[in-house]
Amino acid sequence: MKLSHLAETLIGSEIVKLGGEIRDKIRAGERIYNFTVGDFDPAIFPIPKELEEEIIKAYREHFTNYPAAEGNLDLREAIAHFLKEREQLSYKASEILVSCGGRPLIYSLYRAICDKEDKVIYAVPSWNNNHYTHFIGAEHVVVEARAENNFMPIAKDIKPHLKGATLLALCSPQNPTGTTFTKHDLEAICDMVLEENSRRGDNEKKLYVMYDQMYWQLTFGDIEHCNPVSLRPAMQPYTIFIDAISKCFAATGVRVGWAFGPQVILDKMKAIMSHIGSWAPMAEQKAVARFMYNKEAIDNYLKHFKGEVEVRLRDIYNGLQQLKKEGFSVDAIAPQAAIYLTIKIDLVGKKTATGNQLTQQSDVTAYLLNEAKLAVVPFYAFGADNSSPWYRLSVGTCKKEEIGEMIDQLRNALKKLS
């Protein structure tokens, strides 16, 4: 059967594929340490109690009709207040667009800015930029981020590609790496964008930056989140932010996200989304609008939530460093932010106890799942080279008491290799 070019060429999600394999093993009775999902187990990480109560209250008040296409005014005003209070960013309600999470906003932004064969610059590994670029038929301009920069793109690697580009997709804290831009590195990128836009004429498209900061409130230790507009106010006409309650309040299923930036772009995104019908539910919008003024509840929740996430990340990091000291080919980058740990498992070329050689990284991924019972997402699922030995490990469903067991299981599996 002949279908559209997009349908015929779209690559399925490696994460979804891996998730299916994991579910099959669990159904068969296997014990799997599943660190693949960028989601939360509500039994471990529930949403804020105050937000839950506001959602229940909103349904009891019968807020079950269509919301405004751009998001209800009370929610957009609450978001504007939240941005001013938390990030010292000044945006009007008309410069904020609400949707059912971040994905429709990202898709509509790509659609609003880019034409077919326009250049889109994105780093790998990164979440889904390769697929969104393919959706719109744009030209992929891929920048390979490196371990020495904590897998964050840097200015000198981006600069050769700026001429003629339409969109630069950035994310910090980064999914899948859990790492962040330094102030210096982000300033250098902003300065390049401003310089490039100053060279373009009035009839040329400008270079816009999508700044996905979905995890920005989940930073650890002395790591500080930074953003283009705070560092360089002149970036405001060229920067579109993507954010949501999904990650910072463990509310992935509540489905309330927002974009903010130049109104002329958001108005076009709104028009696109009005045909998709990607509104956040009315009751959830009402609930989030009320909750975002509750500073004490938010502060208390984030303090506890961040502490619980960080202890898991650090315990796993320390366990992997111990394995490294024992001589095994593993490593990790110290936790910085989000719910992810970047880990390295470099086993290509080794032989299993049954004499099978791990000839490529996909063999390593399968060995980890089958022998160590460890499920993690390879960076090649995020656009990196298929030979990359790096993985994303997510702690959103992690029980603290299982960390030691997982490290021991991994150690035993590594011992069996020669």
Per-residue pLDDT for 20 more than 90? no
Per-residue pLDDT for 75 more than 80? yes
Share of the chain above pLDDT 90, in %: 92
Mean pLDDT of 219-241: 97
pLDDT of residue 2: 86
Per-residue pLDDT for 255 more than 80? yes
Q: In 97-168, which residue ranges form alpha helices assigned H by DSSP? A: 103-113, 129-135, 155-158
- Reduced to 3 states (helix: H, G, I; strand: E, B; else coil), residue 374 is strand
CB 409 within 8 A of CB 357: no
**Residue 292 binned pLDDT confidence (cut-offs 50, 70, 90):** very high
Mean pLDDT over all residues of the chain?
96
pLDDT of residue 346: 97
Per-residue pLDDT for 14 more than 80? no
Mean pLDDT of 15-30: 83
pLDDT 10s digits, 362-404: 999 999 999 999 999 999 999 999 999 999 999 999 999 999 9
**Residue 307 and residue 324: Cα distance in Å, rounded?**
26
Which range has the worst mean pLDDT, 1-10, 14-23, 69-78, 378-387?
Answer: 14-23
Query: In 10 A of CB 374, how many CB atoms?
Result: 24
pLDDT 10s digits, 168-218: 999 999 999 999 999 999 999 999 999 999 999 989 999 999 999 999 999
**Residue 355 binned pLDDT confidence (cut-offs 50, 70, 90):** very high
Q: Which helix (H) or strand (E) holds 177?
A: none
**Residue 239 and residue 68: Cα distance in Å, rounded?**
24
